A and B are shown apart, each in its own frame.
Chain A
């Protein structure tokens, strides 16, 4: 089974090079090929749930060869990437007809998927950087895909900040190599356990936090996100907000902090502070927005804050030798919110794309009364809004509930309070979308609006069903043991990661 692990990177990469060979006339064939590939990745990622293993490239022994590591956290992220990219690809069959050069779009999409899968699987810190750059460069050009004023400007802004983040990360990797003499995460982790944190490594840690924080758009580093995500085509916004900032930012940050460098109280407080700042500032900036996609983009910052806060709270409890149960509950809340956010935020962006394609605008003040002419889009947007605001039966409620419970249980009452308040403000801003876009009078110039058709609807309904039923992942014990618990265990084991991977190699 583990023999097929490189397929996650190779198949999309190969397709990315094959797709541009299709001419403009054959773009339907190209679309079909891209969809088949994405579906096969989806099937593969479902098959790999709760499998673990190490794949060493070129059959060299591990510190010399480059290895791919599949463990619980990786397979959780792979699952999220596959599901969201499946929906986005399905949506773009019809949506991307309004742009020229569809084959190039599909090729860049595939490169982005390959890069994200590589980041999630890589067990080598420099290889992680290379895949991160592949995914980022593809996303820079996808943000500017429309080549209009705003898109180019957003793309430039995103690219400048992204390149600065990359330079920071490379500097950090150089420092790690200089201090430990290895690039493999297992060996770095072992050497750090023996020698402890030297000054150089602490500096590298700070560089990693800034670099991955820029990629994840946590609050002091968030300036690019509200420009970049709305400017991209809707399926790409869904990919960027849904999985890219998680795979490149939060996943990599968690992996480096928990499994490689080990936890300390200062780093845990940094994570909690970044998370709380992102939650609060993101949501208050979001309420005032009148551009629908921009509002959603600010909510991405806020919801990423939840994830980082949950994970950071778990780290803090571990670092302070608190109760393991509350720590694992907090981490589980964070990770569960990560996959929930991937689903409902991509659904919201696809919904906004559907509205934009039908009406030609995304300014809330110009919309209204769409509920009557676009009933399915309206239903879908209701499900997604209820999820993101944490209304009970939907998935967002469960992850927020766990976060609040674990914060109360560990004695951080103020964190629980902040979580609830931010959730209420989120509810207000989504009531605003419902009120201005879907209720009220239908303006004169929107009388001709029709419901979007075909693949766009299927993609949205697919994600909406996920939103409704994903609470089951938490509630049904067998699903929880297979999907969430392995990921939590990886983070809880901390630097035990090194031993786990070594025993996996010997098998």
Chain B
């Protein structure tokens, strides 16, 4: 996939900033307004999906390799449990909301560890949803292959990198 026309590329490189900002806003304000980690993570992933559509998969792969992406996914999960364990360390009970003063309504820094959990969930959801969409988009029938066989993520990555080098 070589990407779309110049108009689409230019517009989407502008829009992607807005989308990422919006995603970060939803994640950060998850404890005050509708939204939160999951919704924000979906928005963040959609910015990369837009880039993937406009510039082609190779471009996105160079930006965010799949190995890094799956590591981000795991780190998100680990950090979420780590925040829950913080509750044991500081409050004695699992998932205890502690560590930061809470109770100030409508302030960004309030609600204890809930915003932290939101950020971590946003990271995890964004990474894993992007991974899912990318891998599903990689299942295409390539007419160049004699048989459309499944390739593992690493193979897809290597292959895309090779195509990139050849086109240069």
Contacts and interface: CB of A to CB of B under 8 A. Distances in A.
A59 B96 contact: yes
A17 B95 contact: no
Contacts of B78: 14, 17-18
Contact of A58 (B70, B74, B75, B87): B87
Contacts of B84: 10
Interface string A57-80: 111000000000000000000000
A56 interface: yes
B150 interface: yes
A58 B93 contact: yes
B56 interface: no
Interface in A1-32: 6, 10, 13-14, 16-18, 20-21
A20 B69 CA distance: 12
Interface residues of A, number: 16
Contacts of A6: 94
Nearest to B76: A17
Nearest to B84: A10
Q: Main SS of chain B's interface residues?
A: helix
B74 A56 contact: no
B65 interface: no
| Interface size class of chain B, counting residues whose CB lies under 8 Å from the partner chain | 10 to 19
A17 B77 contact: yes
Interface string A141-152: 000000100000
A18 B74 contact: yes
Q: Main SS of chain A's interface residues?
A: helix
A12 B77 CA distance: 12
B150 A147 contact: yes
A18 B77 CA distance: 9
B85 A59 contact: no
A10 B71 contact: no
A58 B111 CA distance: 13
Nearest to A10: B81
Q: Which 7 A-B pairs have the closest CB atoms?
A: A17-B77, A58-B95, A59-B93, A6-B94, A57-B95, A17-B78, A17-B74
21 contacts: A10-B81, A10-B84, A10-B85, A13-B77, A13-B81, A14-B78, A17-B74, A18-B74, A20-B70, A21-B71, A21-B74, A56-B93, A57-B95, A58-B93, A58-B94, A58-B96, A59-B91, A59-B92, A59-B93, A59-B96, A101-B152
